[in-house]
């Protein structure tokens, strides 16, 4: 039998303490065996008439309870019925409800992360004390997995914190820091970590003498007091926000909202029953499965050091230099400054440097809550960023990231000036989006200290970073860059060198196909609309504008040189460049951005500009447009897999979701297509095969179909 996770102790004769500390794990997780342990402990305490209170505490620093055991969810999924899900929810609710029924005060002493089932357990306690520790947070992120809280969260939280707060917390899925939890009434006291236990004990004593907790127990068991007009307003406003955020693709937030609105007029017990019923319809749904897949993709990357074996330790990076203050260089600099890393930025062009400097400050000083600049943040950032035109000032950096124009000669010239200045252990990385790293390393004295470090645009939003191992890149360099990328809040995957690496190699056929469609007479907006309908955050044409037409052209040229059989050298991009229509950065690209909000708008000049290259306007069904855009991407993924560009098919899905914003509710490109299987994909390809080699099935796909296998084994 596994060693217990819960330990019962008695710091005083009238005070019980349950310490949660799963042996050998960094976080406490609520598995079914832990629930059994809790049940048994509560049985034992029921007979103890001396008790004034029970305190829950974690034995792990920085973590109270991270949530339910998701691996148990996945294991149960293939066979579980709705009735069983309902029963499991009811079991959890009834077990936790004992914490609000026992004849003594129950207090959760929360010193760190308190999420999902952990937050539900805490909310069933009479009182919660939280520490002011940075990592102390309380949240119900179930909607991010396509679920709702199922152990009473949707019933307890609205009764404790108010319906409007509960709706925000549960339908948004974002955790609250301790201070906000206190303001919302979800925490009853806020103390420094070292005083957590003392505060919890004091709370037991106060409650015991005042008896206030008994009045709250009674109050929270009833319907919520809210008048019908306010309820209708709350429902309409929240529903509009959710619709705008989810575009109807994620059912859980709306399910949680409807449930909380409906159950607000019910007693607690009925609200719990309705919650279990709702949960049983969501558990195991396609979106739930897809989002669980994304969770595990993420978890896998968080644990990956990027290299085989454990002998090589990553070095620490304290000072970072960035060359090129354009879209990417300034984004990369901001990412570092936001994480407190001393950063030096340089650019050959004084104006570009000044513009980059301003963009970085705007970004790092921005306060999301206040929707404007924050003086405190600006003051913290000021000493961390230095802009200079003197390359010499980057000499002491542990890592220099080059983000100059996508031109191999220019990049090599930069390296030849920089490399002699760097210290013995200084690392050099390129943010190139397509140029093979090993070819950029030609001429370097220390190619082992050179690597690709490919951030995605916009850096503040895209979490992915590709760490590209050149032919001579050392394990230490790879491990250091993987660790460094994680430190600045990014999700790194290690990919093999080659044109476009992984993500741009897969993006290239998608972008390329958009130009084919344009040439065939499909309107810009129709192409973009189809991609968004499929779930992409923006269409390929708008993406050209965001990337920059010149950058996209250079990148496209590299791909065309590498794969001339399936990439076209369209004259459209050079035509835009000749007109200085470089995309968002110049105010005009395929669309015009010369409006107050900078949103893409049709530009009548474009039809004139495109006319010589395009057939007369025509339309195609949306499904056909999606097939045309997505299937070449899939075929490229199968080529990349057979060339071992990544170590696992899951990396393809991870890269597309976190690098391109591929819709998470689909679980990933390969995960999504696995639902239909390779034989069906071959059928879907057939009508397009005449379009050229870019639509011909690959041997990888055929083999899977022959063996009736899936991408995910």
Q: Among 133, 336, 454, 516, which one carries the catalytic annotation? A: 454
Complex with ligand NAI: residue 16 or 322, whichever CB lies closer: 322
The CA distance from 234 to 171, in Å, is 13
374-406 in b/e form (b: 16+ CB < 10 A) is: beebeeebeebbebeeebeebbebbbbbbbbbb
Closest approach, Cβ 603 to ligand NAI, in A, equals 21
Print the binding letters for residues 105-134 with ligand NAI: x by CB under 6 A, - otherwise: ------------------------------
Is 551 a binding residue for ligand NAI by CB under 6 A? The answer is yes
Closest approach, Cβ 483 to ligand NAI, in A, equals 21
Q: Which stretch binds ligand NAI (CB under 6 A): 24-32, 78-86, 430-438, 689-697?
A: 430-438
- 346: helix, coil or strand? strand
Number of C-alpha atoms within 13 angstroms, CB side, residue 141? 19
- Binding-site size, ligand NAI (CB under 6 A): 26
Complex with ligand NAI: residue 157 or 502, whichever CB lies closer: 502
The CA distance from 663 to 532, in Å, is 10
Closest approach, Cβ 241 to ligand NAI, in A, equals 30
Complex with ligand NAI: residue 212 or 557, whichever CB lies closer: 557
Footprint on residues 555-574 left by ligand NAI (CB under 6 A): 555
CA angle 10, 12, 17 (to 5 degrees): 35
Closest approach, Cβ 390 to ligand NAI, in A, equals 11
Is 324 a binding residue for ligand NAI by CB under 6 A? The answer is yes
Footprint on residues 444-483 left by ligand NAI (CB under 6 A): 456-457
Structural contact between residues 449 and 477, judged by C-beta atoms closer than 8 angstroms: yes
The CA distance from 32 to 487, in Å, is 33
Sheet holding 137-139, edge to edge: 63-65, 113-115, 137-139, 176-177
Give first-to-last CA distance, the chain, whole Å.
31
Print the binding letters for residues 267-306 with ligand NAI: x by CB under 6 A, - otherwise: ----------------------------------------
Closest approach, Cβ 594 to ligand NAI, in A, equals 19
Closest approach, Cβ 472 to ligand NAI, in A, equals 20
Complex with ligand NAI: residue 365 or 459, whichever CB lies closer: 459
Residue 387: what are its φ and ψ, rounded to 5°? -105, 135
Q: Which stretch binds ligand NAI (CB under 6 A): 116-124, 154-162, 182-190, 347-355?
A: 347-355
**Residue with CB nearest ligand NAI?**
326
Q: Which stretch binds ligand NAI (CB under 6 A): 66-74, 155-163, 321-329, 652-660?
A: 321-329
Number of C-alpha atoms within 13 angstroms, CB side, residue 441? 23
- Which stretches within 211-313 are classed as H helix? 212-220, 228-246, 251-263, 268-282, 286-303
Complex with ligand NAI: residue 431 or 463, whichever CB lies closer: 431
Q: Which stretch binds ligand NAI (CB under 6 A): 137-145, 250-258, 343-351, 365-373?
A: 343-351
Q: Are strands 6-12 and 15-20 parallel, antiparallel or unpaired?
A: antiparallel
Complex with ligand NAI: residue 191 or 332, whichever CB lies closer: 332
Is 543 a binding residue for ligand NAI by CB under 6 A? The answer is no
The CA distance from 27 to 552, in Å, is 44
Name the DSSP class of 595.
S
Which residue among 499, 509, 548, 632 contacts ligand NAI (CB under 6 A)? 548
| H/E stretch holding 398 | none
Which residue among 77, 80, 342, 348 contacts ligand NAI (CB under 6 A)? 348
Within 10 angstroms of residue 368's Cβ, the number of other Cβ atoms is: 7
Q: Exposed, middle or buried: residue 62 (CB in 10 Å: 0-12, 13-18, 19+)?
A: middle
Q: Are strands 366-367 and 67-68 parallel, antiparallel or unpaired?
A: unpaired
The CA distance from 483 to 302, in Å, is 10
Is 232 a binding residue for ligand NAI by CB under 6 A? The answer is no
Active site residue 133: no
List, in sequence order, every residue forming a beta bridge with 130; answer none if it has no partner. Answer: 110, 190
Structural contact between residues 87 and 140, judged by C-beta atoms closer than 8 angstroms: no
DSSP 363-380: HHTEETTTTEE-HHHHHH
Is 326 a binding residue for ligand NAI by CB under 6 A? The answer is yes
The CA distance from 367 to 377, in Å, is 8
Complex with ligand NAI: residue 494 or 555, whichever CB lies closer: 555
Footprint on residues 366-425 left by ligand NAI (CB under 6 A): 403-406, 410, 414
Closest approach, Cβ 137 to ligand NAI, in A, equals 32
Q: Which stretch binds ligand NAI (CB under 6 A): 170-178, 221-229, 283-291, 325-333?
A: 325-333
Is 328 a binding residue for ligand NAI by CB under 6 A? The answer is yes
Q: Which stretch binds ligand NAI (CB under 6 A): 153-161, 225-233, 544-552, 661-669?
A: 544-552
Q: Give the residues lining the site for ligand NAI (CB under 6 A).
A: 323-329, 347-349, 352, 403-406, 410, 414, 431-433, 456-457, 547-548, 551, 555
Residues designated catalytic: 454
């Amino acid at each position: 039998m596994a060693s217990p996770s819960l330990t019962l102790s008695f710091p005083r004769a009238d005070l019980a303490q349950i310490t949660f500390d799963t042996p050998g794990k960094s976080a406490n997780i609520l598995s079914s065996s832990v629930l059994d342990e809790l049940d048994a402990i509560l049985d034992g305490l029921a007979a103890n008439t001396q008790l004034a209170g029970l305190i829950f505490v974690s034995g792990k620093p920085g973590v109270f309870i991270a949530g339910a055991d998701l691996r148990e969810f996945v294991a149960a999924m293939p066979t579980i019925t709705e009735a069983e899900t309902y029963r499991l929810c009811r079991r959890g609710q009834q077990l936790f409800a004992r914490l609000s029924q026992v004849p003594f005060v129950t207090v959760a002493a929360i010193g760190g992360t308190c999420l999902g089932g952990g937050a539900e357990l805490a909310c069933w306690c009479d009182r919660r004390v939280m520490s002011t520790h940075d990592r102390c947070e309380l949240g119900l992120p179930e909607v991010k997995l396509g679920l709702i809280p199922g152990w009473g969260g949707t019933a307890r939280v609205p009764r404790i914190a108010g319906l409007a707060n509960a709706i925000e917390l549960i339908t948004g899925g974002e955790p609250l820091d301790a201070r906000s939890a206190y303001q919302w009434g979800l925490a009853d006291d806020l103390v420094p970590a070292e005083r957590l236990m003392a505060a919890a004990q004091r709370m037991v004593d106060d409650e015991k003498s005042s008896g206030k907790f008994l009045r709250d127990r009674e109050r929270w068991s009833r319907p919520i007091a809210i008048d019908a007009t306010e309820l209708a307003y709350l429902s309409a406003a929240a529903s509009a926000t959710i619709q705008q955020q989810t575009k109807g693709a994620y059912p859980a937030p709306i399910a949680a909202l409807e449930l909380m609105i409906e159950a607000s007029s019910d007693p607690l017990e009925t609200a719990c029953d309705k919650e279990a019923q709702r949960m049983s319809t969501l558990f195991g749904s396609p979106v739930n499965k897809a989002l669980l897949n994304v969770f595990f993709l993420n978890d896998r990357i968080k644990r990956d050091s990027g290299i085989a074996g454990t002998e090589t330790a990553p070095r620490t990076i304290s000072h970072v230099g960035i060359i090129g203050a354009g879209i990417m260089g300034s984004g990369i600099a901001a990412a570092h400054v936001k994480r407190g890393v001393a950063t030096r930025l340089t650019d050959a062009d004084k104006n570009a440097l000044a513009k980059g400097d301003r963009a970085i400050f705007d970004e790092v000083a921005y306060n999301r809550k206040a929707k404007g600049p924050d003086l405190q943040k600006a003051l913290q950032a000021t000493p961390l960023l230095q802009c200079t035109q003197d390359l010499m000032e980057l000499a002491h950096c542990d890592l220099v990231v080059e983000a100059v124009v996508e031109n191999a000669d220019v990049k090599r010239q930069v390296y030849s000036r920089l490399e002699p200045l760097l210290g013995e252990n200084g690392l050099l990385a390129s943010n190139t989006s397509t140029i093979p790293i090993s070819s950029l390393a030609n001429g370097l004295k220390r190619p082992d200290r050179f690597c690709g470090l490919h951030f995605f645009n916009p850096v503040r939003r895209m979490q992915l970073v590709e760490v590209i191992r050149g032919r001579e890149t050392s394990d230490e360099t790879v491990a250091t860059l993987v660790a460094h990328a994680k430190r600045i809040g990014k999700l790194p995957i290690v990919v093999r060198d080659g044109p476009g690496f992984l993500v741009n190699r897969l993006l290239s056929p998608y972008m390329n196909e958009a130009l084919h469609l344009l040439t065939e007479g499909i309107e810009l907006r129709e192409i973009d609309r189809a991609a968004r309908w499929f779930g992409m955050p923006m269409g390929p044409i708008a993406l050209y504008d965001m990337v920059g037409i010149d950058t996209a052209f250079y990148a496209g040229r590299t791909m065309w040189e590498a794969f001339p059989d399936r990439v076209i050298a369209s004259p459209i991009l050079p035509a835009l460049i000749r007109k200085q229509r470089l995309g968002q950065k110049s105010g005009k690209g395929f669309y015009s951005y010369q409006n107050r909000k900078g949103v893409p708008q049709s530009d009548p000049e474009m039809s004139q500009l495109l006319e010589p290259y395009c057939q007369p306007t025509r339309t195609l069904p949306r499904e056909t447009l999606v097939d045309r855009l997505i299937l070449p991407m899939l075929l490229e993924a199968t080529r990349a897999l057979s060339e071992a560009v990544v170590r696992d098919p899951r990396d393809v899905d991870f890269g597309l979701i976190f690098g391109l914003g591929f819709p998470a509710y689909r679980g990933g490109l390969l995960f999504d297509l696995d639902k239909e299987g390779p034989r069906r994909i071959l059928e879907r390809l057939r009508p397009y095969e005449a379009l050229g080699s870019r639509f011909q099935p690959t041997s990888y796909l055929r083999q899977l179909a022959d063996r009736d296998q899936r991408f995910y084994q």
